């Protein structure tokens, strides 16, 4: 496999509804942004790009089959090779890795990965039905299955098993909303609708606001859940030969960001069909390098003696497998110290907490405590009175920022664009260009050197983890 670099990216403004633009125009916004950032004229970019990968979750939202080829044509990329990928909420992450694969394999030197979703074209209840169709339509969907219900069930089990609290979940929402205030592309950077007739400024959001927002599926409130969105994102990936072509055209690449690790995991659609691993199987097949020491092994053994089973309905085995593969490829041994930040798929505050554990940021069962430690918060951002809710008073604030962009909960979740959006924001962090793109440097992670992006589908059916690394000159 050849080295692959993420050389540029662009995003559109994410919004509840972009009535001013078709899906083609949204992708064009992000595509033009990526070309401008390289200093390329449109025609030069089209000539250099060898092909593309298209990403969108549902034909239903756009009310258009074969939307990918319509974008390919709109961007002027016909008759170059392209294909469309789909994998639920992980669609954007899969798209990024397919573009990486096209370049790493030698098939292309420069590949465009573009994704979008226009979810406002249908009523919210209909959109939720479309999303619910990404469950087992023979068993779950006919009896009223919908994703907020699934995640509510999962987190109640997490609460029972490990003592996770609603305040810890609300802390994630406050963190992500307050981060997004400084992100001009985020959907929820201003007024946040609590769904009960109240609206509050995101910059003032607190734990009490999250808990009194409209209840969706106990214990998940409106502000524990990401929202549907219209938006697009584009990434440009290149080989070393592709870099030479770009530099020959006078492109300005501030710093090289290499794709150093990729991983994917899968699991059964129905949680009831997933195996329950015993302790020995978990340690053999699922434990990370950082978890095989005597202390961690002993703590895990105590969990199993209390009746713990993995993954149960409280953990995402696919996420662990994706992380394990990506870490091994990138040489990540201790994620909390080896990574500078993570852009994580926080469709729910509860799933962000669950995913801390899958990614090895803390032991299984300690995701809630990880929030209280302050590690996933940005040291330089004011989170209001949140410390009053956590007795530990955030002693490790900023150790490993998670979702410095605001994540899905605050940026929005236009499904096909989301994983690519994460990659773009990660690129800007690693290039140390947040100030230029956001208009302020407050969200810039200090000394950002290596970051992870994480995409997640369904109840953990497809999960991708990709490691991006800044190459020092």
pLDDT digits (tens, 9 = 90+) for 378-390: 999 999 888 777 7
The pLDDT of residue 335 is above 70: yes
Helix (H) or strand (E) holding 8: strand 5-11
Q: Per-residue pLDDT tens for 162-200?
A: 999 999 999 999 999 999 999 999 999 999 999 999 999
pTM of the predicted protein model: 0.96
**Run of H or E residues at 452:** strand 450-456
pLDDT score of 397 more than 90: no
* Contact status, residue 29 vs residue 22, Cβ threshold 8 Å: no
Structure confidence at residue 143 (pLDDT): 74
Q: What is the pLDDT of residue 396?
A: 81
Task: Check residue 157 and give its pLDDT.
Answer: 95
3-state secondary structure 214-274: CEEECCEEHHHECCCCEEEEEEEEECHHHHHHHHHCCCCCCCEEEEEEEEEEECCCCHHHC
pLDDT digits (tens, 9 = 90+) for 53-74: 999 998 888 889 999 999 999 9
Q: How many angstroms separate the CA atoms of 440 and 15, rounded?
A: 21
Q: Tell me the mean pLDDT in the region 264-288.
A: 92
**What band does 22 get if pLDDT is binned at 50, 70 and 90?**
very high
DSSP state of 473: -
For the segment 99-111, the average pLDDT, to the nearest whole number, is 99
Asked if pLDDT for residue 254 goes beyond 90, the answer is no
Q: Say if residue 473's pLDDT is above 70.
A: no
Task: Report d(CA 279, CA 113) in Å as an integer.
Answer: 40
DSSP 456: E
Nearest to 90 by CA among 468, 461, 467: 461
Reply yes or no: is the peptide bond before residue 234 cis, omega within 30 of 0: no
Q: Are strands 256-266 and 462-471 parallel, antiparallel or unpaired?
A: antiparallel
Reply yes or no on whether the pLDDT at 279 is more than 70.
yes
Q: Is the pLDDT of residue 7 over 70?
A: yes
**Number of residues that make up the chain:** 473
pLDDT tens sequence across 402-444: 999 999 999 999 999 999 999 999 999 999 999 999 999 999 9
Q: Tell me what pLDDT residue 360 has.
A: 97
Write the pLDDT tens digit of every residue in 218-249.
Answer: 999 999 999 999 999 999 999 999 999 999 99
Asked whether residue 307 carries a pLDDT value surpassing 90, the answer given is no
Q: Is the pLDDT of residue 393 over 70?
A: no
Sign of CA dihedral 54, 38, 446, 467: positive
Instruction: Quickly name the fold that domain 5-122+229-248 has.
Output: Peroxisomal Thiolase; Chain A, domain 1 (3.40.47)
pLDDT of residue 391: 64
pLDDT value at residue 132: 84
Give the separation between CA 36 and CA 288, rounded to whole angstroms. Answer: 41
CA distance 398 to 252: 31
The domain segmentation of the chain, as residue ranges, is 5-122+229-248
pLDDT digits (tens, 9 = 90+) for 122-165: 888 888 888 888 888 888 877 777 899 999 999 999 999 999 99
- CA-to-CA separations, 73 to 50, 80, 165, in angstroms, rounded: 14, 10, 50
Looking at residue 389, its pLDDT comes to: 79
């Amino acid at each position: 496999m050849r080295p692959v670099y993420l050389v540029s990216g662009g995003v559109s403004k994410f919004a509840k509804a972009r009535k001013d633009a078709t899906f083609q125009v949204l992708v064009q916004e992000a595509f033009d942004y990526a070309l401008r950032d390289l200093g390329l004229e449109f025609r030069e970019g089209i000539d250099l790009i060898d092909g593309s990968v298209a990403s969108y979750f549902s034909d239903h939202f756009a009310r258009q089959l074969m939307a990918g080829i319509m974008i390919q044509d709109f961007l002027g990329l016909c008759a170059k090779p392209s294909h469309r990928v789909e994998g639920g909420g992980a669609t954007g992450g899969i798209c990024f890795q397919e573009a990486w694969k096209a370049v790493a394999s030698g098939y292309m030197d420069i590949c465009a990965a573009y994704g979008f979703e226009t979810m406002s074209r249908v009523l919210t209840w209909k959109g939720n039905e479309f999303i619910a169709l990404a469950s087992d339509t023979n068993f779950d969907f006919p009896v009223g299955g919908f994703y907020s219900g699934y995640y509510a069930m999962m987190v109640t089990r997490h609460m029972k098993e490990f003592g996770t609290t609603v305040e810890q979940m609300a802390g994630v929402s406050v963190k992500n909303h307050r981060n997004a205030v400084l992100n001009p592309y985020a959907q929820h950077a201003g007024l946040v609708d609590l769904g009960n007739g109240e609206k509050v400024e995101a910059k003032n959001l607190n734990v009490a606001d999250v808990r009194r927002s409209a209840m969706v599926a106990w214990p998940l409130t409106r502000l524990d859940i990401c929202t549907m969105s219209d938006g697009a994102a584009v990434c440009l990936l290149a080989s070393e030969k592709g870099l030479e072509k770009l530099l020959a055209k006078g492109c300005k690449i501030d710093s090289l960001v290499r794709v150093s690790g990729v991983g994917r995991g899968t699991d059964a659609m129905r949680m009831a069909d997933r195996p329950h691993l015993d302790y020995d199987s978990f340690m053999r097949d699922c434990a990370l390098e950082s978890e095989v020491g005597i202390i961690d092994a002993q703590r895990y053994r105590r969990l199993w003696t209390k009746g713990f089973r993995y993954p149960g309905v409280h953990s995402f085995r696919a996420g662990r497998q994706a992380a394990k593969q990506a870490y091994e490829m990138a040489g990540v041994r201790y994620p909390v110290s080896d990574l500078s930040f993570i852009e994580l798929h926080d469709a729910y505050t509860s799933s962000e907490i669950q995913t801390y554990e899958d990614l090895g940021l803390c032991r299984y069962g300690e995701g809630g405590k990880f929030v209280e430690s302050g590690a996933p918060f940005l040291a330089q951002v004011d989170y209001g009175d949140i410390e009053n809710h956590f007795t530990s008073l955030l002693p490790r604030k900023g150790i490993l920022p998670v979702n410095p962009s605001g994540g899905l909960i605050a940026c929005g979740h236009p499904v096909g664009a989301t994983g690519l959006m994460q990659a773009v924001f990660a690129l800007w962090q690693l290039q140390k260009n947040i100030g230029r793109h956001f208009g302020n440097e407050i969200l810039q992670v200090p000394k950002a050197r290596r970051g992870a992006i994480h995409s997640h589908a369904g109840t953990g059916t497809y999960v991708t983890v990709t490691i991006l690394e800044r190459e020092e000159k």
